[in-house]
Structures are given as C-alpha cells and as structure tokens.
Amino acid sequence: MFYYLLKFVFLGPLLRLLFRPRIEGLENVPDEGAAIIAGNHLSFSDHFLMPTMLRRRITFLAKSEYFNGPGLKGRLTATFFRSVGQIPVDRSGRGAAQAAIQEGLGVLAKDELLGIYPEGTRSHDGRLYKGRVGVAAMALGAGVPVVPCAMVGTFELQPPGRKMPRLGRGVTIRFGAPLDFSRYAGMEEQRPALRAVTDEIMYAILQLSGQEYVDLYAPDAKAAQSGQATRGRGRTEGTVAPEVTGESGSGA
C-alpha cells in the first residue's frame, strides 16, 4: 500500500513535476509475467525515478547498508526501503551473493519485476563498468527475459556524494527490447555462459546509454584511480591494481 501511495499520490507526481523525465521504450517492459530490468547506476536518484515511471511494481535488490545505517537518518532510510518492499543484499562475499540470487529468484517466481544494477554499485565517474554475473544467474535460473534500461542524465542530476539533486537537469529513461537467453537454458552453473549473458546485457545497456565502457569492476577501477592519484602526490609506491578476472561480492 505504501509503495502505491508513494508512486501515484506523493513521490511519483512530485518527481514528474520537478524533473519531467523523458521515457523511451516503455512498451518493452512486459505488462505481466516475470522479467528482470537491468540498468546502469549513476545516482541515488535512480532508485526513485525509474520505478515511479513504470506501470508495474518493481522490487530492487538494495545494498544492506540502506537497512542498517546509524542514527535517525539510518532508521528512516531503512523504514522507507522496507515499506516499499525492497530486499536487502549483503555484498560481503560469495555466500552472500548466492543468498541474493535466491532472493531474486523468489521475486521472479511470483511473476513480478525484479530490478538489478549489474555493476553492483553506483558509477563514481559516469562511465559504465563491467557487470557481475548475478544478473545472468537469475535470468537463466528463472528462465525470464531481461529488459535493459539506461538512465541518462542522472549523474549530472545527483552524482555520488551530492545530498540533494540539482533542478533543471534533463533526465531520460530508456528501455530496450527484451533479451531472450533461452538458448542458454540449463547452463546457469556454467561460468562461461554466465559471463557471456552478462556481457550481452551490459552491451545492450551501453547501446542505450552512450556511456564510455570500462572493462573493470567499478570498485577496482576506483581503487586504481585513487592509487594513481596518491602516487602522483608522492605518498606511496607500487603498481596500479590489475583487472580482476574473477567475481566477488553480489552480482545484484
């Protein structure tokens, strides 16, 4: 009930009034049945703008930090995310990732929409980073289509670290044609298949967003950039961290 009150009475109309987002390809989101909406993640505003523009309810796998933050702000944030039915995801290790996948499969088993950010975190510089394979594991495990989604302009609207969004910034939300991975049926335990499916999803998002693509996981790229900046100041020595070839943490 709280979800629909926010969507249709309070938050949805307010966001449409303030930011007037442009929606493209909404017809690509199925009117019924299970599907995954996989998108890029540029801003905290993504959590609100995209769901309020969909006709159907969507459940996101949200990082557990939103549910266990300290103080009054933490409690209010946790209450909000729980009230709108979002699922906390522990991103601390491989076992946690498997638990997140099971949670996602549970949502899809109820013929609902599941929202995932395959990068696993917000982009720190507006570029698109390598996707984690959890999205592929869920798509193959549930046998559902994946609808790629691109948020355009939300990085400028509210980049990481900015508490309040800027007004007067144009935002476009693009949904691409559903991706069918039935040719990989029964291969959800095979790592090459998971990687291939994930890369196809990320390429579809890239085509919609027009972002620069970086074939690194976002946290590793951020750490490497931080290391370069530190060495540039002459404080540390060493080499830039190489690209991580394996998966770690949650793929959601």
Tally of CB atoms within 10 A around 230 = 13
Divide the 252 residues of the chain into consecutive groups of 10 and give the mean pLDDT of each group.
Answer: 71 78 95 97 88 89 78 80 76 73 94 95 94 96 98 89 77 97 95 98 98 95 77 40 31 45
Residue spans per domain, the chain? 2-232
pLDDT at 145: 98
Alpha-carbon distance of 152 to 205, in angstroms, equals 11
Give SS3 for 190. Answer: coil
At residue 168, the pLDDT reads 65
Q: Coil, strand or helix: which one is 120?
A: coil
- What is the reported pLDDT for 97? 76
Please give the DSSP secondary-structure letter assigned to residue 27: G
Q: Which of 217, 249, 216 is nearest to 65 (CA)?
A: 249
**Residue 240, C-beta contacts closer than 8 angstroms, at least 6 positions apart:** 224, 227, 228
pTM beyond 0.75? yes
Instruction: Write the class of the CATH domain 2-232.
Output: alpha beta
pLDDT recorded at residue 61: 82
For residue 77, the model assigns a pLDDT of 77
